[in-house]
Amino acid sequence: MSEIYCDGEFYPADEAGLTFTDRGFLLGDGVFETLRWQGGEARHWPDHQARMRRGLALMGLDAPDWTACQGALPRLAEALKGQTGVLRLSVTRASLGRGLSVEPFSDSRVVMQMAPLARMQAPHLIWVKDVCRNSASAFSQFKSTSYGEMIAARHLARQGGGTMALIGSPQGHIASADCANVFWITDERIYTPALSTGAMPGTMRARVMAALQQAGLEIEEGTFAPAVLDQASAILLTNALIGMMAAQSYHGRALDQICPLRDQILALTCAL
């Protein structure tokens, strides 16, 4: 039976629950990270820990006992029976009332759970106009439990016949997908949005860029209008769970044509 770890204790997954007064539920008052569990470890734990620390500090949330969290992972992973899994680590402010003014750095709740990693199909991408990444906000730099905008973006993409949304900055520049960073290839050149667009500083994004640069492949980071994607021969998505994946289509235009540079990139990044 799968279990959930909460504040140093383990609970059966079908019995665990948070109170309705938990501020993570009421106000999205929390921070989370999602990691890939593979080969008996949480992949790239230090990178995720560093990003979470930044979010916790901004929100005035106590950091978890990192050693205790890591020590709990093997028990949580038992239910996976050797499968690759998804680890979710969440920290909320627990039950400290409904208002905005609370005592900082007090009574944080730490929750961890694992589930098998579902196989993801290559996405059909749709540009969504009604949701954007707020490039002026520090909240674009970590994962807050206030994730309603990305859920809405995915909903709008599905309404438009796609399976994943591409979203922009307030200025209309390409920023990211709803759950991933984005790269694309046009005329044998590689492009990706700058973090100044509000794109999440993805842990996998950083490793992909380092791997490509080490292989001698140049990446142009910048601000780009969504119209440039109409000429892209490939669009690539990356996050900690999927690694790197090529999209199937963009607004119904198939992206499965021959593209040696796309295949080279996928080969270079498959083990990250």
Q: What is the pLDDT of residues 41-56, one digit of tens each?
A: 999 999 999 999 999 9
Higher model confidence: residue 23 or residue 191?
Answer: 191
| Model pLDDT, residue 214 | 97
Identify the three-state secondary structure at position 163: coil
Residue 155 lies in domain: 124-269
pLDDT-above-90 percentage for the chain: 87
pLDDT-above-70 percentage for the chain: 97
What average pLDDT does range 2-24 have in this prediction?
Answer: 85
What average pLDDT does range 226-245 have in this prediction?
Answer: 97
Same domain, yes or no, for 167 and 40? no
| Model pLDDT, residue 95 | 73
Same domain, yes or no, for 85 and 176? no
| Exposure letters 192-225 (e unless 16+ CB within 10 A, then b) | bbbbebbbbebbbbebbbebbeeeeeeeeeebbe
Residue given tokens 């910048």 in the structure block = 222
Distance from C-alpha of 240 to C-alpha of 104, rounded to nearest angstrom: 30
Phi and psi at 240, nearest 5°, equal: -65, -25
Distance from C-alpha of 174 to C-alpha of 222, rounded to nearest angstrom: 9
Same domain, yes or no, for 167 and 214? yes
Same domain, yes or no, for 130 and 257? yes
| Model pLDDT, residue 96 | 64
